[in-house]
Amino acid sequence: INEQCMRWCYYETNLFGDPSLEIRGTETDMELSYSPAGYNFGNVDEGETYQTTFEIWNAGTGTLTWTLQENYDWLTCNPTTGSSTGEHDTVTVTIDTTGMSGANTGYVFISSNGGSGAFIVHFYIPSGPILSYTPTSHDFGNVDEGQIYQTTFEIQNIGDGEPLNYTLSDYY
């Protein structure tokens, strides 16, 4: 192509645009999608592990690259990084309830070149009934034979969840 033709192509393209020109692969084409947004394990037992999964994918075009971050000793994810051109990547979330109790919430933060989000985990470890009594002992001191001595004490359920069932017995 000679110089005059190049000038003409340049002017035509700038004035009228080139209908055959297509631009692809810009950074703004990626769009983070994930589902579900979270999971509630409900009531779980202390000292056990539980798992669930969620999916991450690119709802746009191009290649989405993503990274997961969680800041809890009891929460892990696998894998923690990935990429998607549209296929759904499955992430396994594991919780370990060892030494835990009560209501717990954790976040898996998702960062990517197509946006960010968070997968939320909820679970509850009921402690059940817990027997408490006060005083824990009573000393009658020196007692006379054949006499009746009495004391009182209070029994409480200091746990949560189920009612406390108990039986009192006298042992000599």
pLDDT of residue 6: 52
DSSP 113: B
Contact 122, 41 (CB under 8 A): yes
pLDDT at 46 (0 to 100): 92
Say what the pLDDT of residue 25 is. Answer: 47
What is the model's pLDDT at position 87?
Answer: 97
Q: What is the DSSP letter of 164?
A: P
pLDDT in tens, 64-108: 999 999 999 999 999 999 999 999 999 999 999 999 989 999 999
3-state secondary structure 38-94: EEEEEECCCCCEEEEEEEEEECCCCCEEEEEECCCCCEEEECCEEEECCCCEEEEEE
pLDDT band for 167, please (50, 70, 90 cuts): confident
With beta carbons less than 8 A apart as the criterion, state whether 62 and 25 touch.
yes
pLDDT of residue 165: 83
Comparing 14-18, 86-90, 118-122, the range with the smallest average pLDDT is 14-18
- pTM metric for this prediction: 0.63
pLDDT tens-digit readout, 25-59:
445 699 999 999 999 999 999 999 999 999 999 99
Confidence at residue 20, expressed as pLDDT on a 0 to 100 scale: 53
